[in-house]
Structure 1
């Protein structure tokens, strides 16, 4: 699996394009997807799906346009549906623009297949009620949205956020993965499970 990162949108949300053979998936599309679409077209890639880690507006601005252009289904956590009824999801929050309409299919935690590879959909609430992480064991990769960042964690002061829940999600769902697993967050640089266990100040109990 090859992964290309496009920081797009008003908050430079990481849109990831994961590629295997001639197929691709997109993870979060937080802005105008012009560069993303150009990349897919130039490489002759078929967009298999758009996977959303959560339904906050800064991860959604280009979802409808990209999915519509490539005829790809969109998947997101069902427990985040109510966020699209308030500003943090539909837009307008902190002066951010409105999110263009898009449709999505709820995806439940469990085993799925994307790009011909097993994908474990993990329920990782805390930043939002329906936050999901997408773990690809064969690629040693997990897309975590705004759950966990390089040396930090996601905010929990938005509607539906819960600090204790977020911390439990990281400990019980992410830190149980192999330490070499690459962690791709919603903003900022990639990191690894082992690196965050040892160096993230929010989890000092793992330091050694």
Structure 2
């Protein structure tokens, strides 16, 4: 599940970690229900607007939050772009943006490189599978860019910017099932706003072995 709308939420905006859900963000959550059938537990990013989203879902559904993991956190931008939009990005960050696809291991100051992000997403996929084996099918609450990479691991670091075709008006959810083979996840997006880079589509992903395979779950979803 992508978190609800937060304070300052707009395109090309790098939210400060402390940004909280807005009233609109809180109102989005009941509209996202019901969740996919069979979910028995929630895992969440520790970033406050994701954690608040998970807490509200837990309250509305009665599902327990069984883990809070930094593996589900959003891509870490360099500190001095937090709270900024594209018009005020510093020169070093603009230079990094121009070079990051050609050099995915390149970092900008204290930010994550695309290679760092993809490696974390691979570790997160393993974490979700192991957690689902203990707790049953999971709802994972996370963030736009990270979910885009997590749901397209086979594309490597380039998944950061490869835009999928996305069904409009879809509601958010991400469910991970521990069934022996294959494992399944369903992703739906809560927001029509937010970063324009790669919001995840409504997708089912299965893994009997690598690589991940993706199948559209929505009647309105277009093939990519």
Same fold (TM over 0.5): no
Q: Which structure is higher in strand share?
A: 1
Larger RCO, structures 1/2 (Cα 8 Å, 6+ apart): 2
Structure with greater Cα Rg = 2
Q: What TM-score comes out, normalization by structure 1 length? A: 0.35
Q: What TM-score comes out, normalization by structure 2 length? A: 0.34
Q: Which structure is higher in helix share?
A: 2
